[in-house]
Amino acid sequence: MDTSVLIDIGMAALAVLLIVVVVKILAAPIKGILKFLLHAGLGLLILFGVNLVGGFFNFYIPFSWLSVVIAGLGGIPGVILIVLYHLLF
């Protein structure tokens, strides 16, 4: 075998290894972002559901920027905190 072929094979193997390492490094933040978006979506959906069901009991949480941010960032626990706040105050 010619040495240039061995060098080409070595460079290709190094490139594949580098791609695998970069994908593994970037996979963790992407997984975290997707998990955050899922929790935020569930929080907003539950906030909407609380308003839908709460309408039968004359209970309503206004969609202000603060309640949307808390429900979006906090997810289900954030909505529970908003409901408890509105029940207590």
Q: CA separation (Å) from 55 to 35, 49, 52, 59, 87?
A: 30, 10, 5, 6, 14
Mean pLDDT to the nearest integer, 44-53: 91
Structural contact between residues 45 and 72, judged by C-beta atoms closer than 8 angstroms: no
Domain carrying residue 32: 3-88
At residue 39, the pLDDT reads 83
d(CA 20, CA 41): 31
pLDDT at 20 over 70: yes
Residue 1: pLDDT band (50, 70, 90) is low
CB-based contacts of 54: which residues, under 8 Å, 6+ apart?
60, 61
pLDDT at 69 over 90: no
Average pLDDT, the chain: 88
Number of domains in the chain: 1
pLDDT at 77 over 80: yes
Cα-only R_g, the chain: 25
Mean pLDDT to the nearest integer, 53-80: 88
Written as six digits, the tokens of 60 are 């309503």
